[in-house]
Amino acid sequence: MEIIILKDAEKVAATGAELVAELLRVSPAAVLGLATGSTQLALYRKLVESCRAGAISFKRATAFNLDEYLGVTPDNPQSYRAYMRRELFDHVDIDPGRTFLPECGAGQNPVLVGPDYEKKIAAAGGIDLQVLGIGVNGHIGFNEPSSSLNSRTRVKTLTRQTVEDNSRLFSAEEFQPRLAVTMGIATIMDARRILMLATGANKADAVARMAEGPVTAMCPASILQMHERVTVLLDEAAASGLENRDYYDWTHQQNESLKARFGRSHDV
Ligand code: F6R
Q: What is the pLDDT of residues 44-84, one digit of tens each?
A: 999 999 999 999 999 999 999 999 999 999 999 999 999 99
Residue whose Cα lies nearest atom 15 of ligand 1: it is 37
Atom of ligand 1 nearest to the CA of 202: 16
Q: Which residues contact 101 (CB under 8 A, 6 or more apart)?
A: 64, 65, 67, 68, 74, 80, 81, 84
Q: Quote the ligand 1 centre to 133 CA distance (angstroms).
A: 5
- Supply the pTM of this predicted model: 0.96
Residue whose Cα lies nearest atom 12 of ligand 1: it is 37
* Amino acid identity at 107: G
Q: Quote the ligand 1 centre to 260 CA distance (angstroms).
A: 33
Catalytically annotated residues = 67, 137, 139, 144
Q: Quote the ligand 1 centre to 82 CA distance (angstroms).
A: 15
For residue 265, the model assigns a pLDDT of 63
Q: What is the pLDDT of residues 220-229, one digit of tens each?
A: 999 999 999 9
Q: Is residue 207 predicted with pLDDT exceeding 70?
A: yes
Q: Quote the ligand 1 centre to 13 CA distance (angstroms).
A: 15
Ligand 1 pocket: which residues have CB below 6 Å?
A: 35-39, 66-67, 133-135, 139-142
Residue whose Cα lies nearest atom 4 of ligand 1: it is 133
* Pocket mutation for ligand 1, best pick of 134, 162, 163, 169 (most atoms within 8 Å of C-beta): 134
- Residue 184's closest CA among 73, 11, 32, 67? 67
Percent of the chain scored above 70 by pLDDT? 98
Q: Which residues contact 133 (CB under 8 A, 6 or more apart)?
A: 35, 37, 39, 40, 140, 196, 197, 198
Residue whose Cα lies nearest atom 9 of ligand 1: it is 141
d(CA 95, CA 18): 21
Q: What is the pLDDT of residues 110-154, one digit of tens each?
A: 999 999 999 999 999 999 999 999 999 999 999 999 999 999 999
Q: Quote the ligand 1 centre to 158 CA distance (angstroms).
A: 12
For residue 267, the model assigns a pLDDT of 54
For residue 105, the model assigns a pLDDT of 85
Q: Is residue 264 predicted with pLDDT exceeding 70?
A: no
d(CA 149, CA 223): 7
